Every structure is written in C-alpha cells, then in structure tokens.
Structure 1
Amino acid sequence: MKKETLLAVFAFFMVSLSAITVVYAIEEKAKVITISKEEEDITGDGKNEVIQLKGEPYQDDENSYLKEIFIEINTSNGKNTTIPLESGAKAALQLADINHDGVKDVFATVYTGGSGGIVDTFLFTLKDFQKKDLTASEPLDMETHFLDGYKAEIKIIATGKSYLFDLRDRKDYYKKMGLYRKGKLNEPTELMVNPFNSLEPIQLDGGKLGLKGIQRVTGIANADTIAFVESIWSYSDGKWKLVKVEVKKEEV
C-alpha cells in the first residue's frame, strides 16, 4: 500500500476515534441529574446563590444508585464551588442557619441504602465566600449487652445513664437462635449500635436551630430492633453540644 494511502487511512481512523470520544463524553455528561435546586443567600452579601444537588446514576435511570453525588454552587461573585459527597441510594439538601451566625448553611444527607438505613451527613458554611466544613454531630457512643432473663442494657457514654429492656416478648426467637438456654445467656453478647439512621435540622428552645439524630439499636439480627436512641445537638463555640437524649423501646 502506498504511503499516501496509509496516511489517509490513519487520518480517517483518528478523526473517527475523536468523534466517538466526543459522543461518549457527551453521553457520560448527560447521565448527571439534578436532584434539587435552591436559590438563597448563603454568603451573607444579600444576593442569592444558586445551589444544586446533583448525582450520576450507575444506569440511565433517575432511580438508580448514585455512584457520584455532589453540590454545585454558583456564588454571586461569579465563582463556582463544587462539594463532593459520598455515593448513595438517594440524597437531599437543606439550607438552614445551624451554626447561628445569621447566614444559612448547606446541609446535605446521603442515604446509603440497604436494610440498615444508614445516612451520611455533610454540613458547610460559605459565609463571606469562604467554604468551611462544620462537620455534623457524631453519633452517640453506647455500651450494650444482653443480660440473663431475656433482658438487655444500653448505656449512653456521654450521659452515663443506663436503660434496661425486658425482651421476654421475643424469648422464643432468642431460644431458637441459640442466644439463651433456660433463660441464661449461652455467651456474652453485645447489641448492634447503628450510626445515624436520620439526622435533620430541628428548632430548639429559644428559636435557634440544632440537629436531631436517630440511631437504631438491634439485637442478634438487623431486623431485631430493640430501641431507637434520639439525640438533640446544638452548635456552639465551634463544637457540638448534646442537649437531650431519649431512648425508646421498639415493641414487637
């Protein structure tokens, strides 16, 4: 084959490859969906920003699991800010003054999916056009264990208070699963404490906003829910303060 012909074939191949690459890039970009869009002043300059929560599904389906989730912010000074989040089954965005500085903050939740129902949370301020990670409150630490006589105990580390649960209403299940024998534990067994199953802004006494979190505590299986632990938090002096804890038993 002549040199000129080879060059022509090569040039055609490269042009075709470039065209395919461009089409592929367009198709990939088209997969990004806008989950929600808000227009609020989140910098404190009196002008609105455009805040969009976006995600990229694994498939061309808005109900598909989102492999990438991010917040895109167009600020009033003409600059763009992108905040990457974790992947998840779905996501939500709220704008609220959670750190009590007079300017609304960006609060996002990403639901991981699955039977556990765990949620990841993200909290940022962009006051004076400076992005700062406020980091939402952490889940409560607990000490938990089953007791003889079909009972369980949950101790909240932050308060030192313990809660006792009578679980005789599910003793047949525990006996069948080998947890108890004649009312006695076969071996020391802890309960399973989930991270936050939900975390959302809530109005506190005095009108300021805080966060309310709910953690689920389960027994020997994920479906064996024993209690829900609710905690209320307030942001003050750059850190989270625990305001209240409430523990509620799940009835079977």
Structure 2
Amino acid sequence: MKLKNRCLVLGVLGTLLLPVGVSAEIRPQPTKKQEISPVAVNIITPKKVNPVVLEVQRGEIVDQAIGDVDGDGNDEDVLLMGNKVVNGSHFMGNLYVVIKDRKNGQVKGYIRPVDCGGYDSFLTLTDVTGNGVANVLITSLTGGSGGIVDCRILDFSEGKAEEIFTRENNIGIACLGKYLPQYKAELTFPVSGKTIVLDLPGEKDMYRYLNVYDDDGQVKDSGVRPYIQNLCSVAALDIDNDGTSEVLTSQRVVGATNFDTLGYVRTIWKYMAGSWQVKRTNFYTDLYSPHIYKQEADIIGAGGYLITKQYVEINGSRIKYPHFSKMGTGLQQWQLNGQIDAFVKKILKEAGGDGNIELNYEVKYAGKKYTSVLFTGIATAHNRTTSIMQAFNFNMNTGRSIELETLVGKSSKFWGIVTQESMKQGHPLTKKDVQGYYYDGGALVLLHDGKEELALAQSMVLPYLKRNKIGEIF
C-alpha cells in the first residue's frame, strides 16, 4: 500500500479543566486544557448563497454521498463537483454540490459555496439544524504548513439551498495575545472575556533572536504578538444524544513563528435559531495525547481509494476512526462509511455522558477489492473498564461487510486447520466460536470474546484465500 502525507486532524481530548471564571498560570504539559466559556454566545449569523446557473458548471466528481437531504423521505445522490486549478495538482477549486433523484437522475438542487476549494475534499451527511433532515458537510485541506481546513455546511431542506456554515465561520473564535515579561504569553478570548497566562514553550534564544525579548527577559516593542489561526479541524457528532449533531472545531494559537505552537482552542458549536452558538470552548497546550495519537500518513489502497484519519475529542473520550473516499461510486462509499460511523456512535452511546472512550484503529490490509480494519480501545463507564476490539472486513466492490466464509470458502478442511491449531494452544475453536477476523497479509487472525484468539499463518490459509468470492488476488 502507498502512503501519502496529510495534516488534517480532528482533535482528541486533554485532561485538565479549570473552573469557569478562574484565570491561571500554567506550564505546558501534554493535553492540558483550560475552559474558556461554557455559555451560549451568538457568533455569526449564517449567510444565504444565491443559486448558481447549473449549465455553466463543469467539472469532475470529487466525492459522493447518499441520503435524504431535502426532507422528502427519499434518498438523493449528493455529488461534490470541482475543477483542477492547475494541471497535475490535486487542488480542486470552484467546488459545488448537486443533489439528484436516485430513481430518475433528475437534478433536485444545487449550490456553489463562496470560494470553496482545497485538497482531498470529502462529504459528510448529518443533521446539525435539528429539523430531522441531513445537512451536507464539505471538508477540504487548504495546503500549507498551518494545517488549515475549509469547511462548509449546506442545507437543502424546505425547498431551497442554503449555506449555513460559511467561509466567515471558518475564522472560528477570536483570541487576543500579547507577550509578558520573563517569557510568558497572555491570551484573551473576547467570546467569554476570559484570560489565561502560560509559559512559552519555545527556546528563549529564539525569542531574543526575533526581538521579542531582550537579554533580561523584558518584552521589546517588536510588534510581534501571539495570534490564532482559522480552523485546523472540523467534525460533526451528536455529543449530547439529542439527535442533532454539534460541530467540533480546533484552532491553533501561534507564537513568534508559524512553527511556534502555543496551544489549541477547541470549540463545540450548536446551530440554534438560525445561528451558531458556542456551547463550550477549551484551551489545550497539546492537540493530542502523544503516547496514543501520532501524526501519520493517510493510506491509498491498491484499488486507488483513500483512507483518511478522523480524530474527535468529546467529553473525555478520544476517538480515531477512518473515512473512506475515492471509491468509485457514492453508494459503495456511503455504505462503508455508514457502518463505521454507526459503530463509533454506538460505542459513544454505550459509554454515556459520564463514560470515557479511548479508541484507535489500524488498517490491516488495503487491497484492490478487500480491506481489513481493526479497532481497539478501552471504554470506562460506571466505574467499570472494558476492552474494545472490533474488526471490519469490507468488499470494496460493494462497500458491504463480508463474512469469513466469503473470504475462505465453505471448505471443511479450513475449519479442520482451525480446530487443530487452536487445540495446540489449549483453546479449541469451532466455527460458532469465531466472532470476527482480520487478515494482515501475513496471517489470518480469528477473534473470540473480544480478543485475538488464533493467528493462522499465510502459508496455511493462502489456498483458501485464493478461492475468495470477491475477486481479490492474494
């Protein structure tokens, strides 16, 4: 499989929460956070976008999704279209969305958000307005070292197309920064009026070299100030289990240079009365817990599909899960991602409001027609901790999960090998005992009772894998 660098991330949670109304001086530590505002604040009134003339729109399909986005009770094909700005580049400009009737192909609606474009753009459908109809989310990387993303949210309900999360909303919340004597920074958030003070994480020599401080640690009049960037991550998830998704955003606070990261601001937004309201905002000195989450390359499967890492932090839970795109048809992609989304939501719901989840995943195999993904993690709820292990095996032709029998056939000889090898380990397995599996190119691993029970070497199972019914060449 081929790897590709990418910096889109969706945050995970820190560990320290400061009481509301308390300013504090802190030393940067992994995953520390300070609560800035727990109250609803009206930020930006959404803007409507004028309809565009569909006939002048040309381009290629960037991503597809399937769902009822206009509220008529029937699923539509949702197409994200765009044009390459420069030949040979993956940057797609002039992005626009078309919804079509799945039965007759008739165009039912279309909209082009203002100045929307980027790299590896993808769609997500979820209800953020609370009217029971799915909204369309567009997420794109903008490129550059800052890791900025561009997110738009569209509403096709009530017979009109409207952009409710606009380019202006991508600015996020404001932050006013200044340097204090002895290598400290003061950050003030107008949305709540709260101020925090923190020690600068960079080398003191760098700040002196950039004329921010003199040799005695006093602030010089250089005009350099800490500042906050636009959104670097966006995710939509129903946090409070009311049936409507909140929007989770992250912003990077930058010091003397773009490489001088002071911390991250994470905000939970709720769409209420036609505008975006802040439910909670926290400041973290690190975006991720270093021992759990690392910035890794996305994966391109042998079939050309892209597996993008998604990160979400919610009320003490840290979740990492994959998003599949560029699979060829919207139906395949939508069915596959829908299974993963349903699994993540189920885990969160079972944990409840007081529970914590640590969830990670690994792509075990990314072939042309077969992909295997293993989720592992820990769930803590009601003073009880349980392990999580769930494998997904997908037919990339259909986007559906496949049973083990589809991969290895119905041969009794295969199950004879399973019985023989498992007895050597003192835990005999039968067909009924196997609750899941994954294949990593070197072994076929069978799961039982939430753990890896038996690993069969490739040499044992390859004759059976070659008989698979999905057309994968092992």
2: CA distance between counterparts of 1:50 and 1:241?
30
Q: Structure 1 residue 71 and structure 2 residue 71: aligned?
A: no
Give 4+ residue runs of structure 1 displaced > 4 Å after superposition. none
Aligned to 2:74: 47
Give the 3 Å change call, closer, same or farther, for CA 70–132 of structure 1 in structure 2.
closer
Deviation at 1:172, TM superposition (A): 2.1
1:233-248 correspondence runs (5 A): 233-248=269-284
Q: In the comparison of the two structures, how many residue pairs are matched? A: 221
Q: Structure 1 residue 157 and structure 2 residue 190: aligned?
A: yes
Aligned to 2:111: 83
Aligned partner of residue 231 in structure 1, secondary structure = strand
1:137-180 per-residue CA deviation (whole Å, 9 max, x = no partner) reads 45101111111110001111111111111116521221222211
Question: Which protein has the bigger strand share?
Answer: 1
1: CA distance between counterparts of 2:108 and 2:224?
51
Aligned partner of residue 185 in structure 1, secondary structure = coil
Give structure 2 stretches of 5+ with no counterpart: 1-57, 288-474
Aligned partner of residue 42 in structure 1, secondary structure = coil
Q: Structure 1 residue 249 and structure 2 residue 282: aligned?
A: no
79-88 or 151-160, larger mean C-alpha shift:
79-88
145-154 or 65-74, larger mean C-alpha shift:
65-74
On the 8 A contact 2:82/2:94 being kept in 1, the answer is yes
Q: Structure 1 residue 189 and structure 2 residue 224: aligned?
A: yes
Give the 3 Å change call, closer, same or farther, for CA 83–110 of structure 1 in structure 2.
farther
What is the RMSD of the two structures over their aligned residues, measured on CA atoms? 2.3
Q: Structure 1 residue 219 and structure 2 residue 255: aligned?
A: yes
With a CA cutoff of 8 Å and minimum separation of 6, indicate the structure with the bigger relative contact order.
2
2: CA distance between counterparts of 1:59 and 1:132?
29
1:45-82 per-residue CA deviation (whole Å, 9 max, x = no partner) reads 11111101122223554x52223322222146933433
Picking from 233, 237, 246, the partner of 1:210 is 246
Percent identity between matched residues is 25
Aligned to 2:60: 33
1:25-46 per-residue CA deviation (whole Å, 9 max, x = no partner) reads xxxx6xx332221121111111
Deviation at 1:239, TM superposition (A): 1.4
2: CA distance between counterparts of 1:88 and 1:156?
29
Aligned to 1:6: none
2: CA distance between counterparts of 1:198 and 1:143?
21
One-letter code of the match for 2:112?
Answer: P
Aligned partner of residue 208 in structure 2, secondary structure = helix
130-139 or 64-73, larger mean C-alpha shift:
130-139
On the 8 A contact 2:202/2:260 being kept in 1, the answer is no
1: CA distance between counterparts of 2:135 and 2:209?
50
Give structure 1 stretches of 5+ with no counterpart: 1-28
Q: TM-score, length-normalised on structure 2?
A: 0.44
Give the 3 Å change call, closer, same or farther, for CA 51–178 of structure 1 in structure 2.
same
Q: Structure 1 residue 124 and structure 2 residue 154: aligned?
A: yes
Give the 3 Å change call, closer, same or farther, for CA 145–79 of structure 1 in structure 2.
same
